[in-house]
Structure 1
Amino acid sequence: MSRLFRRALLALAAAVITLLCVGGPAAAHGFSSTVYVHVTEGDGGRLRTAVDVEYDLFVVSAADSGHDDPLFRSGTAAFDAGDSARQAEALDAHAGSAVKYVTDRFSVTSGGTACRATRTGDFTIGRREDVPYAGLVLDWSCPAEGDDHVVRSALFPDGEHYVRDAKTIVTYEVGDRSGSAALDGEHPSFSISQSWYERFWEFFRLGAEHLLTGIDHILFLLALIAGSRRPREVVLAATSFTLAHSVTFLLAALGVVDVPPAVVEPVIALSIAVVAGWYLWRVWRRGVEAADLGTAGEGHFGLDRAGWTRLGVVFCFGLVHGLGFAGALGIHDAWSWTLLWSLLVFNVGIEAVQLAIIGLAFPVLVLIRRQAPWAGLWTTGTISAGVAAMGLVWFVQRVSAV
């Protein structure tokens, strides 16, 4: 066994162990929230921001004195009752603390000078992601003239311990400028005068980070790689997965489909177990040679009937993963074409990371298989068994959490 082979095997084993160790939580993405902001020109040269925040999270976060706060008591009672009118009344009755929470964490500056916020109208209640959202309209008076407005959001930070990795999705139509931006804890602000490539990079980065931090999607991809015998198999499987999740990603962005996370998340976990278990089943049914060395009968594109069936299964599960990607941005409404373009860029970021993982992991498996076929079978079998077990654990946890 060569030194290069031993190093490759150790590197791959370390990577798998790391993935499985950090992949314990039932919800791979954690409990997060998305804030939606639409920026337009207001009256008298002011800037207007329509801010939508998740209602129950907003009530808990804005309550100054915890459970004894009047906003918390009336707001949570209205939420439990499912009464939109009562929810709006609770916020209006305690508008001071509610508005202060937003303006302390959301701001607009112009020419480096802070703009002053004025509440316009009453709170409104709508629904996004199948939960109530509170709407607040703020007009911003800016002392400095110009179009270099900078929007900053630190709403629902990790330090408040209610959610983590909260995002603010901003769309804007100001003068002859329009576009969108994604803000989070690491990138909390953007300028309305930003260039198109800066907007591109924001959503590309967000997509790449989402896949890297979404351990369930990475394990699904690893199961595809481990169960592929030849480069064309993993390419076809990855392409099928990409096409499928792109379809549902776009359908969700256009508001055509809306599947609750309570359904999507368990199915994603089950897909991980099924795809990983498929390779183990092939080893047991057809034997080592056919499973790992590719001596089974082949048809079109170098795939036998089992290979085509696996491709179909991957495509179907890819449709569900697309809903998971869409859920990362709370995509459940038909937005502007400008935002839709940004969401496509988000998808490009996902694909870039996916291709990078394939480019790194698959050659290592090929090297192991060529150096020692039995060691290759042992390695891929271990990976598949571990990933399948983790998928089943997640599936049980997510179903029981519903």
Structure 2
Amino acid sequence: MAVLVAAAAFLGSAQPASAHGFSSVAYVDVGDGGDGRLRTKLQLEYDLYVVSAADAGHDDALFRAGTAAFDAGDAQARAAALNAHRKAAVDYVRERFSVTSQGRGCTPEQVGDFTTGRRQGVPYADLVLDWTCQERGVDHEVRSGLFPDAEGYVTGTRTIVTYDVDGRTGSAALDAAHPAFSTHQAWYERFWEFFRLGTEHLLTGTDHILFLLALIAGSRRLREVVLAATSFTVAHSVTLLLAALGLVDVPSAVVEPVIALSIAVVAGWYLWRLWRHRERAIDLAETGGGHFGLDRAGRTRLAVVFCFGLVHGLGFAGALGIDSAFSWTLLWSLLVFNVGIEAVQLALIALIFPVLVLLRHRAPTAGLRATGAISAGVFIMGLVWFLQRTFSF
């Protein structure tokens, strides 16, 4: 049990940034540019792009013009700042993003001017590049090192790529650990990329793990935790799909604080019931008695978990930067992403819940205190994160 308490303390010590904050998502569409060329349309978070490109190119004028346009909320001025300093802006991408064909590098050339739009409620810059390849074959590799952690502005940048090239369509998610992919990859390789992404997101999404830990600690029977986990799964699958279809879009300024609040509410629910029934709970624990209904998975608890699961689904959607309807190809990838999340969730339940059951059976009083301690730690961290996220947006 000490291991579980230590794990909860470790997770609780993490900053909210480890879950969703201070990261960025870049988008790339790869298609046929005509005349044997490939065309890529890159969408990059505007303020991050300006700061990174200005720093890399030592272009103070780009920094001043770009940040002034960003602060003023002027879309035309944002595009004008990039077009006036296109060398620094394009060079930044050329040095960190590449396309190869048949193992040989392709040469990029900008098509048109920079334009700007919005994704996830924030400004994005649009850059179109045509790539001339000496040998145009069916095996194209796309590699992205955009906005790396080493630059110090964000952590965990993810590049979502969709492609329709040479009769092959698909999608990929690139990050620092997996910076490249081939358009000639097999279906199971594409499956694995998004399955891995889902597992990594839940494992590194501390708030989602703490929410699940609160559900496990507050459940006394296997039936309770299974029903709660199922309710959570169904709910977040619904909103992830709705977001991917472009039917729902809730700002992260609302989603992230509510996710933190859900952690505190679920953990606090158990603590409140434990305090309310403390005398009977202690008596039954010390005498080794049966269940006293403290953790009965009733309709109200399931309804609360389901409602918060809907919000967590929006958090999962935010992790992939979903704010508009995706293609059906990418929807399949999102389904696989969700399967990866569920695999980790089931693994955590299978690892933690039997330990709690064993402890409650062999040392009922200690088990009761341990689950109370875990829930208290999760409750405190949920409140702290709620306040941090509420006042940081």
The question of whether the paired residues in 1 share the 8 Å contact of 2:108 and 2:131 is answered with yes
Pairing 1:75–2:66 present: yes
Which deviations, in whole Å up to 9, do the C-alpha atoms of 1:42-68 show, x marking residues without a partner? 111111101110111111111147886
Pairing 1:12–2:41 present: no
* Aligned pair partner of 1:352 in 333, 343, 363: 343
The correspondence of residues 33-44 of structure 1 with structure 2, limited to 5 A, is 33-44=24-35
Deviation at 1:401, TM superposition (A): 1.4
Pairing 1:208–2:199 present: yes
Q: Give the AA of the match of 1:131.
A: V
How far apart in 2 are the matches of 1:68 and 1:332? 32
* Aligned pair partner of 1:295 in 291, 307, 310: 291
Deviation at 1:12, TM superposition (A): 2.1
Which deviations, in whole Å up to 9, do the C-alpha atoms of 1:206-241 show, x marking residues without a partner? 111111111111010000000001000000000000
Counterpart of 2:144 in structure 1 is 153
Pairing 1:190–2:181 present: yes
Q: Secondary structure at the match of 1:63?
A: helix
297 and 206 in structure 1: CA distance in 2 versus 1, 3 angstrom threshold: closer
Counterpart of 2:388 in structure 1 is 397
The question of whether the paired residues in 2 share the 8 Å contact of 1:125 and 1:135 is answered with yes
Q: Give the AA of the match of 2:79.
A: A
Pairing 1:369–2:365 present: no
Deviation at 1:89, TM superposition (A): 1.2
Counterpart of 1:5 in structure 2 is none
The question of whether the paired residues in 2 share the 8 Å contact of 1:288 and 1:377 is answered with no
TM, length-normalised to structure 2: 0.95
The question of whether the paired residues in 2 share the 8 Å contact of 1:289 and 1:295 is answered with no
* Aligned pair partner of 2:54 in 63, 73, 91: 63
How far apart in 2 are the matches of 1:19 and 1:73? 39
The question of whether the paired residues in 1 share the 8 Å contact of 2:65 and 2:81 is answered with yes
The question of whether the paired residues in 2 share the 8 Å contact of 1:67 and 1:73 is answered with no
How far apart in 2 are the matches of 1:373 and 1:227? 15
Q: Give the AA of the match of 1:132.
A: P
Deviation at 1:110, TM superposition (A): 1.2
Deviation at 1:165, TM superposition (A): 0.4
How far apart in 2 are the matches of 1:27 and 1:201? 23
How far apart in 1 are the matches of 2:62 and 2:191? 40
379 and 288 in structure 1: CA distance in 2 versus 1, 3 angstrom threshold: farther
Counterpart of 1:90 in structure 2 is 81
TM, length-normalised to structure 1: 0.93
The correspondence of residues 180-259 of structure 1 with structure 2, limited to 5 A, is 180-259=171-250
396 and 194 in structure 1: CA distance in 2 versus 1, 3 angstrom threshold: same
Which deviations, in whole Å up to 9, do the C-alpha atoms of 1:335-376 show, x marking residues without a partner? 100011111111111111111100000000000000011111
How far apart in 2 are the matches of 1:359 and 1:288? 30
The question of whether the paired residues in 1 share the 8 Å contact of 2:32 and 2:38 is answered with yes
The question of whether the paired residues in 1 share the 8 Å contact of 2:16 and 2:207 is answered with no
How far apart in 1 are the matches of 2:299 and 2:365? 25
Counterpart of 2:41 in structure 1 is 50
How far apart in 2 are the matches of 1:289 and 1:296? 7
Pairing 1:312–2:331 present: no
Q: Secondary structure at the match of 2:130?
A: strand
Deviation at 1:136, TM superposition (A): 0.7
Pairing 1:30–2:26 present: no
The question of whether the paired residues in 2 share the 8 Å contact of 1:26 and 1:394 is answered with no
Cα RMSD of the aligned pairs, angstroms, is 1.8
Structure 1, unpaired ranges of 5+: 1-8
How far apart in 1 are the matches of 2:353 and 2:116? 49
The question of whether the paired residues in 2 share the 8 Å contact of 1:105 and 1:153 is answered with yes
Q: Secondary structure at the match of 1:115?
A: strand
